[in-house]
Amino acid sequence: MMVNNKVLPEIRVNPVIQKEWGWPIAMAVFFGGLGGGLFLLSEFVFIKIGMVLGIVSMCSSVVFLLLDLGKRARFWRVFYKPRTSWLSRGAISLTGAVAFGILYVALSSDAGLSFRVGPALKSVIGSTAGLFAFLVVLYTGFLLSASRFIPIWNTLFLPIQFAIYAFLGGVDVIFIIKALGWISVDVMIFAPIATGLLIAALVLLGIYLVTMFFCRMGAKQGAILLIRGNLSPLFIWGVFVIGLIIPIGIDLLIIFLFPNLTTLVPETLLGISATLTLIGSFLYRFTLLKAGVYYPPI
């Protein structure tokens, strides 16, 4: 069959921006990634309060997902189609991570249930919780990147960036609780990791924006919105300057000025850097959601 495209070029004029997903989804994605990353890292170095905060963060993600629903009483239907829906996969991952996470923390607590199960079963539960937490980290990016008709989201850059931000968020919360004096573990081994993740996030974000700028319609308009449009103050100052440049500067300063990392100063500075990164991390999700321009523009 012949296809007549005579009128098509003429109607590709106005960008249409998605308005359906707003701040609740940005919060859900932010807390989901943060919780998953924090739980995994805390489980790795066994910081119990970190694991608890990771679970709390994932629970917050569930709350924000619920807030965004039109019929909250039917939330259970979200589990119906994990074969094709990333929202479904995300809900299953969140539920699994929270359920197994709580069980693992309970089994690990001194006054808990540790005497009732063997170490093998405990490690199976811990690994399952970790696996689900990792799936949560992945789902947050894929939820957006699976949107075929929003080109600025429909790229593999997004899950990678979201995963980097998730682990970065995890490290940041560990720095903050250390700065608050809630844990006595030496967390300074994470300082170079945090700097590496920050630099990776910065480089990837730069490559992502340049790529989007030279991509098909929709992606380019989204990138323009982020760089020059209404979202540019939040994106450039919030995501780039506050969320990446300043924290990288602080982290490098700490690594070079305090090589021993034993004084209180670097801990406080790391806490400040971590807080700024978390602000940038949320703004990154929020601005990206708001820059969702459709292709086709109808």
Partner 1 sequence: MRYGMVIDLKRCIGCYGCQIFCKSENATPPGILWSRVLFYESGSYPDVKKIHIPLLCMHCKEPECVRKCPTGATTKRPDGIVTVDQTKCMGCKSCVIACPYRARSFHDKESEYFPGQGLTPYERVGYRKHPTGLVEKCDFCSSRLQEGLEPACVAGCMAKARYFGDLDDPDSKVSKLIRDYCGFQLYPELGTYPSVYYLV
Q: Which residues bind partner 1 (CB under 8 A)?
A: 1-8, 10-11, 13, 16, 18, 20-21, 68-72, 74-75, 77-81, 84-85, 87-88, 91, 146-150, 292, 294-296, 298
Least distance between partner 1 and beta carbon 16 (Å): 6
- Residue 30 or 294: the one with the smaller Cβ distance to partner 1 is 294
Single-letter residue type at 28: A
Task: Judge contact between 169 and 175, C-beta under 8 A.
Answer: no
Q: Determine the 3-state secondary structure of 295 from DSSP.
A: coil
For 184, phi then psi, to 5°, come to -105, 0
- In the complex, the smallest distance separating the C-beta of residue 187 from partner 1, rounded to whole angstroms, is 38
Q: Output 72 or 228, the one with its CB closest to partner 1.
A: 72
Q: How far is CA 206 from CA 127, 140, 169, 296, in A?
A: 35, 20, 19, 25
CB of 2 to partner 1, least distance (A): 5
Rounded least distance, CB 221 to partner 1, Å: 15
Whichever of 84 and 260 has its CB closer to partner 1, that residue is: 84
Inter-axis angle of helices 23-45 and 264-290, nearest 10: 140
Tokens of 197: 């993740």
From residue 170, how far is each of 32, 39, 57, 124 by CA, in Å? Answer: 11, 7, 10, 22
Beta carbon of residue 177, minimum distance to partner 1 (angstroms, whole number)? 33
224: alpha, beta or left, given left = phi > 0 and alpha = psi -120 to 50? alpha
Q: Pick the closer one to partner 1 by CB: 2 or 264.
A: 2
How many CB atoms neighbour CB 187 within 10 A?
Answer: 22
| Residue 63 CB, nearest approach to partner 1 (Å) | 15
Shorter beta-carbon distance to partner 1: residue 5 or 260 = 5
233 CA to centre of own chain = 21
Task: Please say which residue, 70 or 259, places its beta carbon nearer to partner 1.
Answer: 70
